[in-house]
Chain A
């Protein structure tokens, strides 16, 4: 549906997002705390693996001078997880909305957008906690939150594109979820979240990890938050290219398939 329709239905989008947040964090304060537990527990696990099993040195932030692996990990993991959890939650969303789709006319993409919006709210809280951690370790991260916001806009475009594509495909094929689990794993391990690109001995592997669709925004996020430097113009261009391509492709496929949802579901 057109942008005009989407805007006219912004009230619906608000209510759907609220519903999304409420069902996710039903038990209010505890619920929000709970949502932080997942990245924290992963942080502990990967820190132990990185520092004490593989015995690697934590990367040194340049120019921030930071030498804290958990912060390096979270700077890459939080945006990645925002992307991957949003997509995972979106895949079934059109299917789950079949009751609505078959009975009323509304912009179907709101089912997907509301999930991304709810995840975005979660991410903001996580970033707030992370910022406090940076400050505690003596890194003045606050000015860097501005470029981070710009990056998040691009990541959100990328996320919405993939989420639209897969949620529409899931109406027709029921193994999308399964395929996505594999792809998400692949993307996770090919992005420099639990390792450092510069330490990879093979040039081609270094290229893949820092130029891949998720790797490039993970790198950008680490540069902004952990290193305290502006990503290169090439990196911005790459991230923007992935985001715009993803959004256009996802929206195109979704718009083509969504008129058929009501009869195919």
Chain B
């Protein structure tokens, strides 16, 4: 049964148990598409087995929010589909002790020819709701999806964003105790994503269980109690989001650097291993304009290195350099470093305006003749709107505006953004 628990008394406090699950797909070399062909091929297809999941085990206690991360094709969606009972594992078992709703990539199973209204009823019925229950919740569902005007048009005319909005609205309104979500935040606009996150927080606070598959490591870091890293169909790490995500991003960066030699240059021995972005000693993927931010550069060297000059270059993701502080300019070069360590570059009152930025690091000798290590894209991070409302350029210089002139009114036109054409005019 997909949406009601099996009610195993041994499973008290466990919402979801994945026990040694293996899932293989058939990858056909040659496949008969007709019965005629099948008989001609001697009644068998040629295929190879591909293991998308191998011996995956974990338990999710009631009330936990778990993030599942991993690179593309690592098996995250397959795992979620197995949990949602859409796919059947070849070995192992999955036990669900709660009323479950699942939302897969790009929305729910909708019938393209039916209207949004009919699909809401159909979907809620699949998720196990009775008709009076659905009728009672219908207005809430439509209101949440913000699709009032389109609810009676066939869903085949919907955009993928509208699709997801409706699917999400249904899934959260059927009152599940366990919600499985695959990459929902990848689609839809920012305000809707915000709304979803709020709903997730409310869900978590109500003691419900959430499993979230996502690329967005920062939402796992900020929102989940636990992260599971799936790599090539196996659980590579399972633990606190901070630890798992660090390990994951490090491996990803190494793999990236290995794949693309130009990412890292230099002759060693000193190497930068990682760059963290911290606000009040907490690692962040997102900071705000005006925050006091510390960039922590971790390094490692097998032998002592004299007077290493560290520099940090911050550029927009479009490649425009913003600033490049160096320890030599700052008169902050130690006489010698050895083993592992880190250097903090603290910035007060961050003046970057909202956007995505990347950090390149470089370590060289004092004369800069000798390049120890240069790491391109050591770290990317986002800046959200903070104490400044500037949106053009890259930095805010925190300017003050003062008017003079007899014809200038002393009153300031105070309108909230966004502006409308009515705001223009000659008085």
Question: Which residues of B sit under 8 angstroms from A262, Cβ to Cβ?
Answer: 81, 86-87
Q: Is B169 located at the chain interface by the 8 A CB criterion?
A: no
Residue of B nearest to A96 (CB): B111
Chain B residues with CB under 8 Å of A263's CB are: 25-26, 87
Contact with A along B125-146 (1 / 0, CB 8 A): 1111111000000000000000
A-side contacts of B1, CB under 8 Å:
2, 4-5, 8
Assess whether B122 is in contact with A12, with CB atoms less than 8 Å apart: yes
User: Contact: A173 with B128, CB < 8 Å?
Assistant: no
Say yes or no: B122 contacts A16, CB within 8 Å. Answer: yes
Q: A169 — which chain B residues lie within 8 A by C-beta?
A: 35
User: Which residue in A105, A179, A260 is a CB contact (below 8 Å) of B35?
Assistant: A179
Residues facing B in A183-234 (CB within 8 A) are none
Name B102-117 residues within 8 Å CB distance of A: 102, 104, 107-114
A124 to chain B, nearest CB (A): 23
Assess the B125–A8 pair: CB atoms within 8 A: no
Pairwise interchain contact A102-B114, C-beta atoms closer than 8 A: no
Contact with B along A253-265 (1 / 0, CB 8 A): 0000001101100
Interface membership of B85, Cβ < 8 A: yes
| Closest Cβ–Cβ distance, residue B141 to chain A (whole Å) | 15
Going nearest first, the 8 A-B pairs with the smallest beta carbon separation are A103-B109, A105-B2, A100-B109, A259-B88, A175-B34, A105-B85, A173-B35, A12-B125
B111 — which chain A residues lie within 8 A by C-beta?
19, 99-100
Other than the given A8-B1, A15-B121, A104-B123, 4 more pairs (CB < 8 A) read A9-B125, A12-B126, A15-B118, A263-B26
* A contact set with B: CB distance below 8 Å: 2, 4-5, 8-9, 11-12, 14-16, 19, 23, 99-106, 169, 172-176, 179, 259-260, 262-263
Q: Knowing A15-B121, A262-B87 touch, does A99 contact B35 (C-beta < 8 A)?
A: no
Task: Determine if B109 and A101 form an interchain contact, defined as CB atoms under 8 angstroms apart.
Answer: yes
A105 touching B86, Cβ below 8 Å: yes
Most buried by B among A5, A14, A173, A176: A173
Q: CA–CA, A173 to B113, complex, Å?
A: 25
Assembly CA distance A102 to B102 (angstroms): 12
Complex-state Cα separation, A263 to B33, whole angstroms: 15
Are B88's CB and A8's CB within 8 A? Answer: no
Please indicate the chain A residues that have their CB under 8 angstroms from the CB of B118 in the complex. Answer: 15, 19
